[in-house]
């Protein structure tokens, strides 16, 4: 597999800002500062995504287009959009900002599927809190612009649910996993920042992640390149099926 091109496409706060070009999407979901932008840079081999040590930096749906030759599925050139969604669990500006960022993520999925499915199933991001249908519906309206033609404008081929391997038992991650289970989109658990753990800690934490979230995680280290080949194989399978 050979990476041909990697580039930033756009930052979108509504569905009209999402390219309707037939290129499949791989959405990245995870807590703030889990390393979504860093992973995108590692997969692309360039600094196309802006990173920050401060959580809550991504406030829009940021899209990146990567074009590849070969990979899972056989020879041939293909493209994929990585969609970096705002992180859950933190936002600058307090509760109102948390709600606004949550609506962006909700509505991104709503525009590819039926908005009422998201309204029924999305949790507020606080353990035990029910969905807020009014806020969710408002977010879906804002993102889809209210035009039925905006729904289903793009295909989400899969979701990478990023979790920090150092913190395997966070309620916010479990809550997000339950939400993803309801969307009808294949989602894969990816454990980031593996390089910050000893060998023994890796084994222990990965087992705890599987116990807590109900599935095994693909361990990666963007800093050292560990697991990136396996992740690319997975992305190719999802995008080319």
For residue range 71-83, list pLDDT tens digits in order.
Answer: 888 899 999 999 9
- pLDDT computed for residue 59 by the predictor: 57
Our measurement of the distance from residue 140's CA atom to the centroid of its chain's CA atoms, rounded to an integer in Å, reads: 18
Q: What angle do CA 76, 81, 84 make, to 5 degrees?
A: 150
Q: Residue 125 — left, alpha, or beta (φ > 0 → left; ψ -120 to 50 → alpha)?
A: left
- Residues 136-175: tens digit of each pLDDT: 444 444 444 445 454 557 899 999 999 999 999 888 899 8
- Residues 90-125: tens digit of each pLDDT: 444 444 434 555 677 777 888 884 434 443 443 333
Nearest to 158 by CA among 35, 28, 59, 46: 28
**Contact (CB, 8 A) for 191 and 165:** yes
- pLDDT computed for residue 16 by the predictor: 73
For the chain, domain boundaries = 2-240
User: In sequence order, what E strands does 101-172 have?
Assistant: 156-164
Read off the pLDDT band of 220 (50, 70, 90).
very high
Range 41-54 average pLDDT: 81
CATH number of 2-240: 3.40.50.300
- pLDDT computed for residue 239 by the predictor: 95
More confident: 192 or 20: 192
pTM given for the model: 0.80
**Distance of alpha carbon 20 from alpha carbon 239, whole angstroms:** 16
H/E run at residue 134: helix 133-144
- State what percent of residues in the chain have pLDDT above 70: 73
Token representation of residue 123 = 């949790």
Is 228's pLDDT higher than 60? yes
């Amino acid at each position: 597999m050979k990476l041909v091109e990697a580039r930033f496409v756009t930052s979108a706060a509504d569905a009209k800002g999402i390219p309707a070009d037939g290129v499949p999407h791989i959405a990245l979901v995870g807590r703030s500062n889990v390393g979504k932008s860093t992973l995108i840079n590692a997969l692309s081999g360039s600094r196309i995504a802006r990173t920050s040590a401060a959580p809550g930096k991504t406030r829009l749906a940021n899209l990146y287009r990567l074009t590849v030759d070969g990979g899972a599925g056989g020879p041939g050139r293909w493209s994929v959009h990585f969609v970096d969604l705002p992180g859950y669990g933190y936002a600058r500006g307090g509760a109102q900002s948390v709600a606004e960022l949550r609506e962006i993520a909700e509505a991104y999925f709503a525009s590819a599927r039926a908005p009422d499915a998201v309204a029924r199933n999305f949790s507020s991001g606080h353990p035990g809190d029910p969905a807020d249908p009014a806020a969710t519906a408002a977010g879906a309206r804002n993102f889809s612009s209210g035009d039925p033609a905006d729904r289903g404008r793009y295909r989400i081929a899969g979701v990478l649910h990023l979790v920090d391997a150092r913190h395997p038992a966070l309620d916010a991650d479990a809550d997000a996993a339950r939400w993803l289970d309801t969307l009808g989109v294949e989602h894969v658990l990816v454990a980031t920042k593996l390089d910050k753990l000893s060998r023994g800690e890796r084994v222990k934490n990965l087992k705890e992640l599987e116990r807590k979230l109900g599935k095994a995680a693909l361990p990666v280290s963007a800093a050292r390149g560990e697991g990136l080949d396996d992740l690319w194989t997975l992305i190719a399978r999802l995008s080319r099926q």
